[in-house]
C-alpha cells in the first residue's frame, strides 16, 4: 500500500474514521467490546471529525486491511495476533490490561460498571471501605477518573491510598471475584472480565498526574515522610508540564496542532523559558510572534486557570503518546537506548 494514502491524523482519528465507515450496527458491535474511557475517546473523535476526504477514508481502510492480512497468516497464534493488534491500537500498557481481561475469563460486572459512574458517586460508595479496597478500585479505573474520585475522598486518606496503589503488584483472582460481587450488590452492572495484576508506582503516578498541583504537592510530601524510597520511585514517573520540553521537535509540532490557541496561551503564562522557547521554535515565525504579542498583552490570570490549561495539554500529550503519535521523553516516558 502507498504510505502516502494514510491520512496524517492520530490513531484515535483513524479508529473514528474506520467506525464511521462501518455503519451504525457494525460500529455498535465494535464499541461494545471497548472500555468506557475508550468509547468516550473514540466517540469524541468521531464527533469532531471534519473535512475527511475520500482519499483519507481509502487510506485508513487500506491500512487496516493490510494490517489484518499481514498478521493473520498461518502459523500466527490467535493470542499473539490479538496482542499485536491491541498494542498497535492502544499502546503497550493499555493493551496489556485489555489482553488480561480478555484472556482472564473472569466476570467483573460490578467493578466495570464503576467506570461509567460519576466520580462523586464512586467516592460515596468507597467512603466507608478499607483503604486497601479503595486502592484496588482506583487502580482499576482510568487515571483521570481515579484522580477525580480521589479528590472527593477525605484529604488525610489520599496519601495512604496512593501508597497502597504504588505497592500493589497483584491480587488473587478469587479475592478479585469476591470484591466484584460486593460491588455488584450495590448497583447493577454488566461488562466483560478483569485482570488480576495491576497497580504499582506507574499507576499511582498516572493518578497523581491528573490531580490539581496543590493536591499533588501535599500528597507527595506525606508519601515522602512515610516512605522516601517509594516517593522517589513515584516522582520519577510523574510527567509534568515542564517535561514537555523533552519532547522532540516532530512530536512538539504534532502536539501543537492538537492544542487550541487559547489554552496554549494560558498554559505558557507560568512556565520556564526553556519550554516557551521549545514551543516558539516549533511554530511558524508568524504564529510565534503573534503568540508572544498575545502573552505580553494579556493581563493577570488566575493560577487555577493556568494549571487547568496545562492539565488539558498534558492530557492531549498523553493521548497522542498512547496512540504512538509522539514519544514523551524524560519523567513518565519510556526510556530509549
Contact by Cβ (8 Å): 31, 38: no
Q: Rounded CA gap, 314 and 321, in Å?
A: 10
Residue 27's CATH number: 1.10.220
Residue 262's CATH number: 1.10.220.30
pLDDT band at 281 (very low <50, low <70, confident <90, very high): very high
Q: Which of 23, 46, 71 is the last residue of a domain?
A: 71
Lookup: cell for 103: 484472556
Q: Which of 214, 237, 260 is the last residue of a domain?
A: 237
Contact by Cβ (8 Å): 152, 120: yes
What are the helix and strand counts (H, E) for the chain? Answer: 20, 0
Lookup: cell for 125: 460508595
Q: Are residues 250 and 232 in the same domain?
A: no
Top-confidence range, 12-26, 88-102, 234-248, 323-337 = 234-248
User: How many structural domains is the chain composed of?
Assistant: 3
Compute the average pLDDT of residues 224-250. Answer: 84
Q: Are residues 166 and 226 in the same domain?
A: yes
Beta strands per DSSP E along the chain: none
Q: Are residues 274 and 207 in the same domain?
A: no
* 107-121: pLDDT as tens digits: 445 666 677 777 888
Q: Are residues 211 and 271 in the same domain?
A: no
In total, the chain counts a number of residues equal to 337
Q: Are residues 114 and 25 in the same domain?
A: no
Compute the average pLDDT of residues 30-50. Answer: 76
Q: Rounded CA gap, 73 and 154, in Å?
A: 54
> Is 332 a member of any domain?
no
Compute the average pLDDT of residues 1-24. Answer: 69
Higher pLDDT, 221 or 59: 221
Torsion over CA: 69, 73, 79, 83 (sign): negative
Q: Which of 14, 47, 71 is the last residue of a domain?
A: 71
Higher pLDDT, 279 or 18: 279
Residue 117's domain spans which residues? 109-237
> Is 91 a member of any domain?
no
Q: What is the DSSP string of 181-249?
A: HHHHHHS-----B--S---SHHHHHHHHHTS-HHHHHHHHHHHHHH-HHHHHHHHHHPPPGGGGGGS-H
Alpha carbon of 284 to those of 252, 253, 317: distances in Å? Answer: 13, 10, 20
Compute the average pLDDT of residues 181-187. Answer: 62
> Is 293 a member of any domain?
yes
> Is 94 a member of any domain?
no
Q: Rg of the Cα trace of the chain?
A: 21
Please, what's the b/e burial string for 239-259 (b: 16 or more CB within 10 A of its CB; e: otherwise)?
bebebbbbbeeebbebbbeeb
Q: Are residues 268 and 233 in the same domain?
A: no
Lookup: cell for 246: 523533552
CB atoms under 10 Å from CB of 46, counted, come to 16
pLDDT band at 311 (very low <50, low <70, confident <90, very high): confident
pLDDT at position 142: 83
Q: Are residues 116 and 231 in the same domain?
A: yes
Q: Rounded CA gap, 123 and 158, in Å?
A: 12
> Is 327 a member of any domain?
no
Contact by Cβ (8 Å): 223, 211: no
Q: Are residues 224 and 115 in the same domain?
A: yes
The lowest-confidence range among 19-28, 104-113, 152-161, 308-317 is 104-113
Q: Are residues 199 and 316 in the same domain?
A: no
> Is 149 a member of any domain?
yes
> Is 101 a member of any domain?
no
Alpha carbon of 240 to those of 106, 128, 160, 258, 330: distances in Å? Answer: 36, 32, 22, 18, 10
> Is 333 a member of any domain?
no
Amino acid at each position: 500500500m502507498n504510505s502516502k494514502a494514510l491520512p496524517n491524523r492520530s490513531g484515535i482519528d483513524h479508529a473514528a474514521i474506520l467506525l464511521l465507515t462501518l455503519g451504525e450496527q457494525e460500529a455498535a458491535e465494535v464499541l461494545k467490546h471497548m472500555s468506557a474511557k475508550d468509547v468516550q475517546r473514540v466517540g469524541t473523535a468521531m464527533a469532531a471529525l471534519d473535512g475527511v476526504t475520500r482519499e483519507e477514508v481509502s487510506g485508513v481502510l487500506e491500512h487496516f486491511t493490510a494490517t489484518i492480512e499481514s498478521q493473520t497468516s498461518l502459523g500466527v497464534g490467535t493470542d499473539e495476533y490479538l496482542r499485536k493488534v491491541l498494542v498497535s491500537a492502544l499502546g503497550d500498557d493499555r493493551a496489556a490490561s485489555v489482553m488480561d481481561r480478555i484472556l482472564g475469563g473472569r466476570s467483573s460486572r460490578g467493578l466495570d460498571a464503576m467506570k461509567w459512574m460519576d466520580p462523586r458517586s464512586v467516592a460515596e460508595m468507597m467512603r466507608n471501605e478499607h483503604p486497601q479496597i479503595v486502592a484496588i478500585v482506583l487502580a482499576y479505573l482510568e487515571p483521570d477518573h481515579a484522580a477525580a474520585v480521589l479528590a472527593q475522598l477525605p484529604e488525610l486518606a489520599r496519601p495512604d491510598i496512593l501508597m497502597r496503589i504504588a505497592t500493589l503488584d497483584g491480587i488473587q483472582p478469587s479475592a478479585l471475584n469476591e470484591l466484584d460481587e460486593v460491588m455488584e450488590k450495590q448497583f447493577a452492572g454488566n461488562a466483560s472480565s478483569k485482570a488480576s495484576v495491576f497497580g504499582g508506582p506507574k499507576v499511582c503516578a498516572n493518578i497523581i498526574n491528573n490531580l490539581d498541583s496543590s493536591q499533588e504537592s501535599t500528597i507527595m510530601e506525606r508519601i515522602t515522610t512515610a516512605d522516601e524510597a517509594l516517593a522517589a520511585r513515584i516522582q520519577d514517573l510523574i510527567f509534568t508540564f515542564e517535561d514537555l520540553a523533552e519532547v522532540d521537535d516532530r512530536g512538539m509540532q504534532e502536539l501543537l496542532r492538537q492544542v487550541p490557541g487559547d489554552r496554549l496561551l494560558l498554559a505558557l503564562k507560568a512556565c520556564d523559558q526553556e519550554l516557551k522557547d521549545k514551543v516558539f521554535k516549533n511554530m511558524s515565525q508568524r504564529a510565534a510572534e503573534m503568540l508572544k504579542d498575545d502573552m505580553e498583552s494579556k493581563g493577570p490570570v488566575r493560577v487555577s486557570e493556568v494549571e487547568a490549561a496545562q492539565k488539558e495539554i498534558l492530557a492531549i500529550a498523553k493521548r497522542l503518546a498512547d496512540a504512538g503519535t509522539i514519544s514523551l521523553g524524560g519523567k513518565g516516558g519510556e526510556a530509549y537506548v
